């Protein structure tokens, strides 16, 4: 996902809070194919020396995306899948116009190389919770789907995913006990709105200790976070990340207020 752009993409963007000294790798493209939900999926092979690639579903890698004229831009993309045995990982790029991330992904060919750092990110599964709530828009599909696919059998999960229409929906193969709602915004523009907030407000919190994973456009994430806190969830029960916001390029908001 290219959430480090002013329009939504299937990319998570780069945090502003100090940049940790992340390990760097050069990944090699295995293939690039169209995937569901208007995504382009690029599969990469890890280098032989990447023995310490420590990854949890929901985390992202920082990719140095070519911008043209020899320039590169940092973009965080959520890993869509990771095969530890084959030492390959896949990244889904949301195709949302002629922007650097999707443009590079569509043109990627086997043997191409790209520099990345990571993984990083705190929106990861909490195995101690009794139930799990996921919300997000198109930019969040890779993270939400991968976490659900890797969740233990019987995990009680609820997901609200906002897309323009049914063409944005993707199949989710999970052993979790999942209640899933695809929310079609239709002609409403992606971005700040009450669309997702209304669905979250209407969601009846289950019994037990829950964990919420609230990701997407920053102002929407903040609105949902505040609403859940007002309903009794603690700040520790909400993992919230702003993947993008209008007018901002190259930023990622860790929403914890």
Express each pLDDT in 4-34 by its tens digit. Answer: 433 344 444 444 445 568 899 999 999 999 9
CATH 2.40.30.10 placement within the chain:
24-120
Within the chain, all domains assigned CATH 3.40.50.80 are found at 131-254
Q: Can you give the pLDDT at residue 102? A: 94
CATH architecture assigned to 24-120: Beta Barrel (2.40)
Nearest 5 degrees, angle CA 1-CA 40-CA 170?
Answer: 80
CA distances in angstroms from 142 to 38, 60, 77, 216, listed in the order given = 12, 10, 9, 12
How does DSSP classify residue 208? S
Strands 177-184 and 156-163: parallel
Interatomic CA distance for residues 79 and 148, integer angstroms: 13
What is the fold, at CATH topology level, of the domain defined by 131-254? Answer: Rossmann fold (3.40.50)
DSSP state for residue 185 in the 8-state scheme: -
pLDDT at 250: 59
Predicted confidence at residue 14, as pLDDT, reads 40
Q: Please tell me the distance from the alpha carbon of residue 197 to that of residue 192, in angstroms, as a whole number.
A: 10
Which residue ranges in the chain fall short of pLDDT 50?
Answer: 2-17
């Amino acid at each position: 996902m290219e959430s480090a752009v002013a329009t939504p993409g299937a990319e998570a963007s780069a945090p502003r809070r100090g940049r940790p000294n992340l390990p760097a790798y050069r990944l090699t493209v295995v293939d690039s194919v169209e995937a569901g939900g208007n995504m382009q999926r690029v599969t990469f092979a890890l280098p032989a020396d990447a023995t310490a690639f420590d990854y949890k579903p929901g985390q992202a890698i920082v990719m140095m995306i070519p911008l043209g004229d020899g320039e590169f831009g940092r973009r965080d993309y959520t890993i869509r899948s990771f095969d530890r045995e084959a030492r390959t990982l896949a990244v889904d790029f949301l195709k949302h116009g002629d922007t650097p991330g999707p443009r590079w992904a569509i043109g990627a060919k086997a043997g191409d190389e790209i520099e990345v750092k990571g993984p990083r990110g705190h929106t990861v599964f909490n195995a101690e919770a009794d139930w799990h709530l996921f919300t997000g828009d198109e930019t969040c599909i890779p993270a939400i789907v991968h976490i659900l696919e890797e969740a233990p059998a019987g995990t009680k999960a609820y997901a609200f995913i906002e897309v323009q229409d049914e063409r944005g929906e993707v199949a989710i193969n999970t052993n979790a006990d999942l209640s899933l709602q695809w929310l079609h915004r239709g002609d409403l523009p992606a971005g700040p709105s009450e669309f997702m907030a209304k669905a979250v407000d209407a969601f009846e919190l289950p019994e037990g200790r829950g964990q919420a994973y609230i990701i997407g456009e920053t102002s929407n994430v903040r609105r949902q976070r505040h609403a859940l806190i007002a309903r009794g969830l603690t700040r520790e029960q909400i993992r919230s990340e702003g993947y993008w916001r209008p007018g901002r390029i190259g930023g990622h908001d860790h929403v914890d207020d």
